[in-house]
Structure 1
Amino acid sequence: MFDFISAIPAAGSVINALAVIAGSLIGLIIKKRLPERITMVAFQVIGLSVLALGIQMTLQSKNVLIMILSLLLGAILGEALELEDRLQNGLKGLRTRMIERGWQFGGDHLVEGFLTAFLLFCMGSMAILGAFEEGVGKPPNLLLVKSMMDLVSSIALASTLGIGVLFSAIPLLLYQGGLTLGAFYLNSFISNALIDEITAVGGVLLLGLGFSLLHLKHFKVFNMIPSLLLVVIFSLFL
């Protein structure tokens, strides 16, 4: 089985993305049959779960200065580039085209669904370690386990947040696949400390997303995405 899988570039990430697509489709089918009050409760539980996971991930930082500096400069860069506004406009345009073609899956939480799924599926240690594991030539055991977990999670997310969850499979594939290729070429630069700092920054992004989902305070989380690149640079050179 692993001989077949290893013949596909970044096979673990490909399987993971397919699992998210399959789970999202199941969730979209279920969504139509759920009462609104059930959807509302599920939405609140997801928000609280995102907050809890964000706290857990943030505490993994061993160098708070690097985390703060990455987030600060990353947020400023993202705001200057208006990343979240561009994302919103792009997804809304896609939703409009789907509605014109008779698709009614967009819902009111298209952007929230996309961001929530992307951050949950991509920012955890398992995503990073799994991609690195495959990148150094080992079987993608971690990513296969993660795929099963994401299959279940995407069912729950899509049934609550809609089709945005399905679209998260695209950046998931690009992100994890990119990490796999990066690990292949930059294996000597990868350390547990680097993984901890990436995870911690991802945790802060999840905290911002959790507050937004619960309507406690809106944060433009996608504008903070450049922080994930900056934390790698700072961790390597500071």
Structure 2
Amino acid sequence: MIGLGTAINIGLIIAGSLCGLAFGRFMKENLKQTLMVVSGIIVLLLGMSGAMQYMLVIVNGTLQTTGGPLLMIISMVVGAIIGEVIDLNRWITVFGDWVKARTGNAGDPKFTHAFITASLTFTVGAMGVLGSIQDGLTGNYQTLLLKGILDGIIVMVMVSSMGKGGALFSFIPVGITQWIITAMAHIAAPLMTPSAIDNLSYVGSILIFCVGIDLIWPGKIRIANLLPAIFVAMGLTFLL
């Protein structure tokens, strides 16, 4: 069943959030801060491993770079310019504030930051993109199932460390984004070449690495303003 993978992913995010809400109050503040840093390290490593997969190859027993870094650099720079002009970070913040007000969490100062951080962590990664494409092309949801398990663990830590509800509602952008990608992959299967998928996943992994930095050192990077880099990477793949 096409789209089932995203439904499972959403369910695991909600389940992880509820576990964090149930047990987070029993944790000391120092433990919460340490777990937040651990989450950042985990996300950093996930992003780094994904990027290295497309940046380096072994040829005749030696480690060599691929042609991907040049496309990645162009995509990140052009994407950052587009994102700053549009100021996606501000629009996502506005949406987060709207969700906060609608869900009765107006008094939670950490809500919007937790919502944005969790949403970006779970939407821009290679696993979400590849899993959604696989789901749309063949109905195979195994990658999204694995992603959902990881998301559930990470969101449990986030909820216990970053306020009571912001991270929970990250399932909204996750569901919207992954279902859109799944539908597009199902409709435009001939256009989704292996090169396009690889470049999209490559840049997505770089953005995941940036999310990890923001988890450890909040406010250093306006990650939402880098999101256009993903679409620039796909566009360059088709042009070149």
Give the TM-score, by structure 1 length.
Answer: 0.83
Aligned to 1:144: 145
Q: Is the deviation greater in 142-151 or in 170-179?
A: 142-151
Q: Give, as a single letter, the amino acid of the residue that structure 1 aligns with 2:181.
A: L
Q: Residue 54 of structure 1: CA displacement?
A: 2.2
Measure how far apart 1:223 and its partner are: 0.7
Cα gap change, 1:197/1:120 in structure 2, threshold over 3 Å: closer, same or farther? Answer: same
Distance apart, 1:56 and its partner CA: 1.8
* 1:17 to 1:74, Cα distance in 2 relative to 1, 3 A: same
Shift of 1:143: 2.1
Q: Which stretches in structure 2 are left out of the alignment for 5+ residues?
A: 56-65
Instruction: Report the RMSD for the aligned CA atoms in angstroms.
Output: 2.4
Q: Partner amino acid for 1:92?
A: D
Which one-letter code corresponds to 1:72 in the other structure? Answer: V
Q: 1:177 offset after TM fit, Å?
A: 0.9
Partner AA of 1:168 in structure 2: S
Runs of 4+ with >4 A deviation:
none
Q: Kindly provide the amino acid, as one letter, of the partner of residue 222 in structure 2.
A: K
Does the aligned pair in 1 maintain the 2:120–2:224 contact within 8 Å?
A: no
Who is 1:52 aligned against? 45
Alignment equivalent of 2:227, drawn from 216, 225, 236: 225
Cα distance, 1:41 vs. partner?
Answer: 0.7
d(CA) in 1 for partners of 2:195, 2:107: 41
Residue ranges of structure 1 left out of the alignment (5+ in a row): 1-5
Q: What is the aligned partner in structure 2 of residue 123 from structure 1? A: 124
User: Could you tell me which residue of structure 1 aligns to residue 63 of structure 2?
Assistant: none
CA shift in 2, pair 1:121/1:94, >3 Å: closer
Conserved 8 A contact 1:125-1:195: no
User: In percent, how many aligned pairs have the same letter?
Assistant: 28
Cα displacement string for residues 53-107 of structure 1 (whole angstroms, at most 9, x for unaligned residues): 2222222244222211111111111111121122223323543565xx4x48835
Aligned to 1:79: 84
TM-score norm. by structure 2 comes to: 0.82
1:24-173 → structure 2 map (5 Å cutoff): 24-59=17-52, 60-61=54-55, 62=66, 63-96=68-101, 98=103, 101=104, 103=105, 106-108=108-110, 110-162=111-163, 163-173=165-175
SS of residue in 1 equivalent to 2:26: coil
What does the per-residue CA deviation read over 1:161-207, in whole Å, with 9 as the maximum and x for residues that have no partner?
23222221111111111111111112122233322222221222223
Distance 1:205 1:140, change over 3 A: closer
